[in-house]
């Protein structure tokens, strides 16, 4: 059930209408039933998996909390981590490692192989296992008390707005909201939820899906790419993936807000980040902060010798790459991000940081975006050969930029304008000259109505899956 389908619209209207009419005690159970139904619509056979993952962490959380000795606490936490990573490894990475192992043996001139399995990748497994696992670690660290009711915890793991593609929530933030009875929503709050939905659907349906058609056409011609095709693919996919995922996150936040629950901000104008470091503080924030809190800092973080810090950065970004999927392409994507971060940091150590002037700011933002966009060749390519073929297109000076390049430019500008102006206004930064949107309710309403009309009239006319649903 895609967020951009009629089926989801029907489902959500029904959930919303019933949910707010139920007594407070029954609301969570109803949301849980709705969430499991939502997940079951993808593949009901995989429902036991999410229930199993949640049950393991619920039990582990209590065991950690009640364990008498530090060793026992540690063992229970490790049990949770190994179970979750084991699930992830089996469903997502087993075939990749089996194939890589065989390749490695072949390189060494040896024969032998691990047989691959025909495994279905459960939707959202990377998201819910990370969320569930983080809970146990938080309990272990004493940052969170274990959840009392099992059904509340199951809802925390399976809450449908963020189940299949995040944001990866933390127990500290989401669980108290779930446990606490929810007050009726005020009209302004409901409208702010609707606004998030409007922007989210605009980003997804009007921008990302339209750019998706162009990106698909470009990648389908990777083996005969020229500079025109490569440039179109380069920019088109960058803005497609941003609007797709950012749109999804806003729809998730909007639907959750309409149900009285606040989800974390997942994107914060990433293309306005002045370095790769700033970029990752603004892009897929729930993943980057997860990796920071549960991997980078435990590895030693930035409080170490430069070589150690660089190693920590590389390991973290490699994990970020591999988190996306099991292929060499994602390994390279992660390595590139690690390299970018290390380079920026090394420059900063030598006193070459982002300049404070406006032109310098624009230059640094542009460099940071272009570097990221380049790494996306590996993110989007079906395999290494396709990515490299498209990159080679930069050297083939044939072809001409056609009108599709204009479309990409138009949508990129629209995406940046939306990010820079409307979102900023939405967060009531009145200092901005377009704070007019937030000061004048008529202008603001007309702007949002225009977004609705634009989405409806020029959006792609089919429910295209979200890019991040494959993770």
Catalytic residue positions? 324
Size of the site for other proteins (CB under 8 A): 46
Of the two residues 344 and 437, which places its CB atom closer to other proteins in the complex? 437
Q: Are 376 and 390 in contact (CB under 8 A)?
A: no
- Report the C-alpha gap between 127 and 185 in whole angstroms: 28
Q: Which of the ranges 77-85, 170-178, 305-313, 393-401 carries the binding residues for other proteins, by CB under 8 A?
A: 393-401
Q: Which of the ranges 36-44, 51-59, 106-114, 396-404 carries the binding residues for other proteins, by CB under 8 A?
A: 396-404
Q: Are 244 and 203 in contact (CB under 8 A)?
A: yes
Tokens of 429: 């930064």
Q: Are 136 and 28 in contact (CB under 8 A)?
A: no
Give, as ranges, the residues between 31 and 50 that touch other proteins (CB under 8 A).
none
Q: How far is the CB of 448 from other proteins (least distance, A)?
A: 6
Instruction: Pick one of 56, 137, 228, 287: the residue that binds other proteins (CB under 8 A).
Output: 228
- Based on the shown chain and the rule CB under 8 A, indicate whether residue 218 belongs to the binding site for other proteins: yes
Which residues touch 279 (CB under 8 Å, ≥6 apart)?
270, 273, 368, 369, 372
Following CA atoms 267, 270, 274, 280 in sequence, which dihedral angle do they give, to the nearest 10 degrees? 60
Give, as ranges, the residues between 399 and 458 that touch other proteins (CB under 8 A).
399-405, 407, 410, 441-442, 444-446, 448-449, 452-453, 456-458
- Based on the shown chain and the rule CB under 8 A, indicate whether residue 311 belongs to the binding site for other proteins: no
How far is the CA of 348 from the CAs of 268, 273, 344, in angstroms?
A: 23, 15, 6
Q: Are 263 and 169 in contact (CB under 8 A)?
A: yes
Tokens of 199: 């922007």
Tokens of 318: 């490699």
Of the two residues 388 and 414, which places its CB atom closer to other proteins in the complex? 414
- Based on the shown chain and the rule CB under 8 A, indicate whether residue 121 belongs to the binding site for other proteins: no
Of the two residues 171 and 393, which places its CB atom closer to other proteins in the complex? 393
Of the two residues 251 and 342, which places its CB atom closer to other proteins in the complex? 251
Q: Are 347 and 335 in contact (CB under 8 A)?
A: no
How buried is residue 29: exposed, middle or buried, by Cβ count under 10 Å (0-12/13-18/19+)? Answer: middle
Q: Which of the ranges 148-156, 219-227, 357-365, 378-386 carries the binding residues for other proteins, by CB under 8 A?
A: 219-227
Tokens of 165: 């593609």
Q: Which residues bind other proteins (CB under 8 A)?
A: 5-7, 186-188, 190-191, 210, 213-214, 216-218, 220-221, 224, 228-229, 232, 399-405, 407, 410, 441-442, 444-446, 448-449, 452-453, 456-463
């Amino acid at each position: 059930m895609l967020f951009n389908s009629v089926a989801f619209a029907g489902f959500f209207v029904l959930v919303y209408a019933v949910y707010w009419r139920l007594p407070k005690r029954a609301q969570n159970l109803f949301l849980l039933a709705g969430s499991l139904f939502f997940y079951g619509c993808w593949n009901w056979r995989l429902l036991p998996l999410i229930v199993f993952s949640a049950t393991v962490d619920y039990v582990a959380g209590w065991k950690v909390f009640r364990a008498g000795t530090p060793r026992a606490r540690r063992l229970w936490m490790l049990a949770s981590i190994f179970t979750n990573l084991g699930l992830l490894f089996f469903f997502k990475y087993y075939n990749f490692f089996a194939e890589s192992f065989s390749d490695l043996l072949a390189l060494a001139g040896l024969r032998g192989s691990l047989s691959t399995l025909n495994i279905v990748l459960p939707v959202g497994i990377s998201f819910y296992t990370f969320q569930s696992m983080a809970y146990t670690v938080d309990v272990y660290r004493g940052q969170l008390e274990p959840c009392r009711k099992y059904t509340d915890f199951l809802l925390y793991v399976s809450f449908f707005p963020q189940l299949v593609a995040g944001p990866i929530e933390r127990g500290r933030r989401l669980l108290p909201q779930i446990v606490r009875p929810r007050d009726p929503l005020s009209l302004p709050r409901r409208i702010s939820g609707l606004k998030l939905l409007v922007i989210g659907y605009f980003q997804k349906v009007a921008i990302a899906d339209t750019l998706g058609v162009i990106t698909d056409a470009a990648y389908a011609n990777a083996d005969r790419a020229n500079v025109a095709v490569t440039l179109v693919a380069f920019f088109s996919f960058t803005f497609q993936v941003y609007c797709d995922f950012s749109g999804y996150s806003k729809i998730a936040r909007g639907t959750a807000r309409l149900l009285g629950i606040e989800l974390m901000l997942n994107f914060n104008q990433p293309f306005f980040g002045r370095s790769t470091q700033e970029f990752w503080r603004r892009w897929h924030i729930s993943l980057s902060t997860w990796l920071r809190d549960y991997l980078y800092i435990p590895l030693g973080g930035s409080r170490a010798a430069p070589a150690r810090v660089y190693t920590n950065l590389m390991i973290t970004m490699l994990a970020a790459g591999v988190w996306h999927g099991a292929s060499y392409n994602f390994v390279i994507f992660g390595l590139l991000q690690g390299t970018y971060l290390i380079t920026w940091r090394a420059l900063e150590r030598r006193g070459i940081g982002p300049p404070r002037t406006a032109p310098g700011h624009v230059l640094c933002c542009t460099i940071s975006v272009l570097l990221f966009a380049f790494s996306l060749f590996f993110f989007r390519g079906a395999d290494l050969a396709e990515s490299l073929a498209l990159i080679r297109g930069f050297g083939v000076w044939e072809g001409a930029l056609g009108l599709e390049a204009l479309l990409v430019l138009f949508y990129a500008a629209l995406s940046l304008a939306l990010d820079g102006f409307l979102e900023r206004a939405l967060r009531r930064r009145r200092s901005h000259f377009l704070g007019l949107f937030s000061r004048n309710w008529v202008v603001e309403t007309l702007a949002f109505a225009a977004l609705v009309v634009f989405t409806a009239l020029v959006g792609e006319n089919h429910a295209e899956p979200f890019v991040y649903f494959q993770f």
